[in-house]
Each structure stands twice: as C-alpha cells, then as structure tokens.
Amino acid sequence: MNFTPTEEQQMIQDTARQFAEAELAPVAAELDVTGGREILLANLKKLAELGFMGLNVKAEYGGTEAGVIAFSLAMTEIARGCASTAVTMSVTNMVAEVIQAVGNEEQQQRYIPKICSGEYPAGGFCLTETTAGSDPAGMKTRAVRDGDEYVLNGSKMFITSAEYAGVFVVWAVTNPDAPKGKGISCFLVERQTPGLIVAPAEHKMGQKASATNEVRFENCRVPASALMGKENDGFRIAVGELAGGRIGVGSMALGIGLAAMDYATKYISEREQFGQPLANMQGLQWMLAERYTELEAARLLLLSAAHEKEQGVYFGTKASMAKLFASEKANQACYTALQMAGGYGYTQEFPLERYARDVRITSIYEGTSEIQKVIIARDILKTVG
C-alpha cells in the first residue's frame, strides 16, 4: 500500500484542517461549557456543504465519493478542532453508508441526500441497549409485524446526536424464537414518527456538545417499507457497520491525541525552568518521542484498515486493531501532554484537560478496548484453525 495521499485525499485533508482551525478550534472550549447547540448545528451544516457528511457515499446520492482513506484523514483533522463535532460527523457518515449498503433504491434516494446535504443535521445509529452494549445480539427491543406495518417497542441507550438526527437506523428483534442474533432486523425510523421519544441528554465527562440520549419506542408504528435488507438479517448488518465505525472512532482519537501533544510540545518549547526551555530536558524529549511514535503507528494502522475497506476485502480485524491501538495510545498521549504542562495542564485555561476528557470515551464506544481484543484474538485463532 502507498501511504502517500492522492491529490484528492490531500485536498480533503487540507480542507478539513483549515475548517477545524478556523471554525471549530476557536469555539471548542465554549461548546464544552455551554453545549452551544446553535453553533454546533451551524458547523455541522457547513461540514455538509463541504461534502464531509458523505465522504464514502456515491455522488448520485449527494455524496463526495472520496473513499474511506479520505474519511479517516478528514476525521483526524476535524477531531483536532472539536471532538464533539467529529463524533457527530463520524456517526452520520456511518448512517449514510449503512443505508447505501443495504437500503433499497427508494430508501437510498429518500434519506441519503438529506444526510449529505445537511437537511438532516445528523443521522442516528440505534443499536445499544441497557442490557445489550458489548453484547448487542442480546437486545430486547421488539418489532412486531401488524399488517403493512411494524410496531416497535423498547429503548436504545447512548445514541449520539439523537436530539437533532433526522433519521434513525434501528435494530429490533423480529423473531424472538430464532437463535441469538439470528432474529434481528434493521429499520429506518424518521425523527417525527409518533411513538419515537428522545429523552433528555446524558451529562457526560467529555464531548459535551454532542448530544447523547436514550431513544424510546412506545408502540412506534413504521411502514413495512421501513425494513432495510431482509427480515431477521439485521445483526449481520450491524456487525459489518460497527467495523467501519471503528475506523472513524480511531481516527477521531488520533486527532485528539495529536492536538494534545502539539499543544504540549509548543508549551515546553516556550516555557523555561532552571534557565533553559523545558524542551531541552531529556525526560520530556523522551515523552515526545514515545507518544508521537505511537500516534504515527496508529495513523498507519488506520490507513491500512481504511485501505482494506476501500478495496472491498475483509477489514474487521484491521479495524479492531486500529481502533484499539489508536484509542489507547491517544488516551496516553492526552495524559502525557497534561503532565508535560504541569499545573497549567490541569486548569481550564489550557485545553489539555478537555482533550483528556474528550478522548476517554474513544476506548469505550464502537466496542470497548476489551471487546476489540476479543475480536482480534478470535480472528487470529480462526486462521490458526
């Protein structure tokens, strides 16, 4: 694989970097304190206008058709500016991709252009439940066929962007008698559908401007045409899309980690102690060397996973490896950066404490680090067998 970006990929990366520096970074601290919903939504609209809400979506549906590598590069740059904006971009791209992958032509034409254009500020990915997080096959939400409709009952937890998502991809059990994971189907549910209830946002440690909500379904009726793909074939879809989502989360983690280390590097280059810049001290130089080396390795893993997805070959193992390594090393990078800044790093005057809070969730969502290890080990053992 050639790791040098193509001209188009470089242009997308540069555009994302410029947008993050000009529009996102200046308001990130304000969004962290206030939530800044109007500012967030305005920036999401701008991202859509730049083509960033459908980077791996066909042009006929309003997408950029730039590919997975371009998506990873752009995600990293956007996350450098604002993690709350980046996570919304990641999930929204994932929703558009799953509709493109398994939706029928009518569904694709109806929903994807609204996502890519920004008419829908975001898309919602409704999989996780209170008793079905790391084990999504254990979900309890039901969808019962009633004539030309399905009736949904249940609830989904920790749904990113639920307050302003225009459409939700929802998984529900349609055959409770089937073996675990075999009787699950996938539906498209519009935001204003009666019976779809979005609960108040969770109070979180980080990424505070990104709404995270419970979504409840109380006798929520959707037409039979809302079914995506085949009935009882939804879990396979979920597993496949989660693998792609891990590239997005890993790329976001990388961006946050780089932002933290870049800030700390500039700080120690300017700050003096014992009559010389902190950057002259070997202990801090070793911290820089270790963290930047790890972040560069994370970047290469992410690009490798993105390349395999783009080539249409199995990329699940690589995606789990990339997400595991990038999220864990980005967490270390943020804490190292905070340590390098000393007491100032612990104050809100510096962005380092925010980076440390924002990055923490990356080792949890789209599958915890522990789950990634299970997936990686399972796939390796399959090759041995």
Q: Indicate which residues carry an active-site annotation.
A: 366
Give CA separation, 205 vs 33, 141, 249, 345, in Å.
Answer: 11, 28, 17, 17
Cβ proximity of 264 and 333 under 8 Å: no
- The Cα-based distances of 193 to 120, 217, 256 in angstroms read 15, 10, 36
- Cα–Cα distance, 86 to 249 (Å, whole number): 9
Please, are residues 154 and 129 in contact by the beta-carbon 8 Å criterion?
Answer: yes
User: What residues form DSSP beta bridges with 165?
Assistant: 122
Q: Are 84 and 40 in contact (CB under 8 A)?
A: yes
Q: Answer for the pair 362, 331: CB distance below 8 angstroms, yes or no.
A: yes
DSSP-assigned letters across all residues of 40-61: HHHHHHHHHHTTTT-TTS-GGG
Q: CA 222 to CA 295: how far, in whole Å?
A: 45
Task: Fill in the DSSP letter of residue 137.
Answer: G
